[in-house]
Chains A and B, each alone.
Chain A
Amino acid sequence: MAVLLLAEVAGGELSVDATAKTVTAAKALGDVTILCASAGCGGAAEAAAKLDGVVKVLCADDAAYGHDLAEPVADLIVSLAGDYDHILAPATSSAKNVMPRVAALLDVMVMSDVSGVVDGDTFQRPIYAGNAIQTVKSSDNKKVLTIRTTSFDAAGQGGSAAVESIAAVANPGLSEWIEDKVAQSDRPELTSAGVVVSGGRGIGSEDGFQLIEKLADKLGGAVGASRAAVDSGYAPNDWQVGQTGKVVAPDLYIAVGISGAIQHLAGMKDSKIIVAINKDEEAPIFQVADFGLVADLFDAVPALIEEL
């Protein structure tokens, strides 16, 4: 069986963590070929070739693929699909944009956010904000899936796959990129960080979030947020953790001023150790917390930074 894996490439660079975790899911299905589609993706392709268990890397270096526009990337994948039984990508925002389009063009169903591989036809995925896990068996001749990266360990380094350049296919020209607003940060990436400190509505202001950032920096962690904190403008959208935001599973997750709605829990309840700081002892977040501290966050967080 042959697997095509769409690598996550951001700004011309391989997102190693997301791609390597998807490789682990893919290896269980067959020989893995990685596709890097981007503008100037040669470096990404070289990096992908080093992932353990990868047989071949295809590099489609073309301006049309520079900004993850769904239509040209989907057409490229469909042009390659004949050789593969499975087409996978990590469940990132760019893959969620493109993979259902690929599936529909191939007249197959997509399986989103797959958290377990049972066999070549059978997969597990969370539904209802992770309150249930469904096992589904696909009758389609090709399987198109996105992989929930927190459910798989990263494939190691040490591979030496051949890199092959491939030509772009015709661009349907339906959309064009205008601009990105991406905050640069020295912090680790949220979905792969070992420590995540998240703030909720209880933080009360954008300034207040500096407290969360300070604690995160003290621990070398990433910063997350609840939807309410993002909606209120305390935190940027790409910090949202939850059912409809990012899914994280760090070694340590600290939830500060977050009540613990099911939609938030969906994005963090697989973390190894969960700490909750909340002044309401009835807050549902305490039901999933290993260590709960009932306290005013404006007292507790500065004290915590001090003691660490």
Chain B
Amino acid sequence: MKVLVPVKRVIDYNVKVRVKADGTGVDLANVKMSMNPFDEIAVEEAIRLREAGKVAEVVVVSIGMKQSDQTLRTALAMGADRAILVVAADDVHQDIEPLAVAKILKAVVDEEKPDLVLAGKQAIDNDMNATGQMLSALLGWSQATFASDIDIDGDHATVTREVDGGLRTIKVKMPTIITVDLRLNEPRYASLPNIMKAKKKPLDQKTAADYGVDVSPRLEIISTGEPDERAAGIKVADVAELVAKLKEAGAV
């Protein structure tokens, strides 16, 4: 069985985001970039499936700037076997929309014929939570989103999903697309020897045009602004003062 894992290069989750003064977007020049944390969980799960003997090959793919090759090398260092880079942007501020990403991924799936796509549930930059579901639609495959437990068994997978009410378990036909949530696993760190080894693993480079996909955005960004600031608060000395303040504010 072959698994395809899409990975996105995004601003590191520890970096404080700054909105550009001219309102054209968020400043991404010279900030630390990393693999989207949910995608790390997807890569980890794919590697664990291979280690458990259920999967023969883990292929990772990234769509974005040329620099996304670094993200792919990270995935290879974690243990993925092979990588595909699809260059579709030449500026870090150009975010390829989930629909276009899904179309490119569909073309990659048509070529690679994986049995399973494991994706992160959401990218922490645009917070869209859409690519996996869109890819599933374009392929006409089953989908299982927000997974916290995955059990692959022959022609189907049993997936426990984190939903608003708690946990929901569904059974989906293979091939399938599963998007992963935080509690699925804890991703490993790449060891130094594995980082060295990853440099020799195959990394194919393509462009969006190679797949005949138009990546023009459907959503025009009119402006990007700061959220409303909260007025500064106060420190209270003790519980009695806290209760008095809450009563004063009519909150209790």
Interface residues of B in 150-171 (CB under 8 A from A): 158, 161-171
Whether A67 contacts B99 in the complex (CB less than 8 A), given A100-B129, A132-B225, A263-B13, comes out as no
**Listed stretches B73-81, B107-115, B231-239; interface member:** B231-239
Interface residues of A in 263-277 (CB under 8 A from B): 263, 269, 272-275
Bound form: Cα–Cα A4–B170 in Å: 27
> Contact at A244–B122, with CB atoms within 8 Å?
yes
Bound form: Cα–Cα A290–B252 in Å: 14
Bound form: Cα–Cα A109–B220 in Å: 11
> Contact at B165–A238, with CB atoms within 8 Å?
yes
Bound form: Cα–Cα A282–B226 in Å: 24
Interface string of A282-294 (1 = CB under 8 A from B): 0000101111111
Asked if A202 CB lies within 8 Å of chain B CBs, one says no
Asked if A205 CB lies within 8 Å of chain B CBs, one says no
Bound form: Cα–Cα A256–B62 in Å: 39
> Contact at B170–A175, with CB atoms within 8 Å?
yes
> Contact at A108–B99, with CB atoms within 8 Å?
yes
Bound form: Cα–Cα A307–B161 in Å: 40
> Contact at A307–B134, with CB atoms within 8 Å?
no
Interface string of A94-113 (1 = CB under 8 A from B): 10111111111101111111
Asked if A165 CB lies within 8 Å of chain B CBs, one says no
Of B125, B142, B146, B252, which is within 8 A of A71 by CB? B142
The SS class assigned to the B binding surface is mixed
Bound form: Cα–Cα A104–B145 in Å: 16
Cβ contacts under 8 Å, B146 to chain A: 93, 97
**Listed stretches B53-61, B86-94, B199-207, B242-250; interface member:** B242-250
Bound form: Cα–Cα A294–B133 in Å: 44
* Closest Cβ neighbor of B121 among chain A residues: A244
Cβ contacts under 8 Å, A243 to chain B: 124, 127
Of B125, B138, B142, B227, which is within 8 A of A130 by CB? B227
* Closest Cβ neighbor of B223 among chain A residues: A135
> Contact at B145–A70, with CB atoms within 8 Å?
yes
* Closest Cβ neighbor of B143 among chain A residues: A70
The residues of B with any CB-CB pair to A shorter than 8 Å are: 11, 13, 16-17, 19, 25-26, 38, 97-99, 102, 121-122, 124-138, 140-146, 148, 158, 161-173, 181-183, 217-227, 230-231, 233-236, 238-240, 242-243, 245-246, 249, 251-252
* Closest 9 A/B residue pairs (Cβ): A174-B142, A104-B134, A100-B130, A104-B137, A100-B133, A290-B233, A131-B17, A109-B218, A136-B219
The residues of A with any CB-CB pair to B shorter than 8 Å are: 10, 67-71, 74, 92-94, 96-105, 107-113, 122, 126-140, 172-183, 191, 219, 227, 230-231, 236-238, 243-244, 246, 251-252, 262-263, 269, 272-275, 281, 286, 288-295, 300, 303-304, 307-308
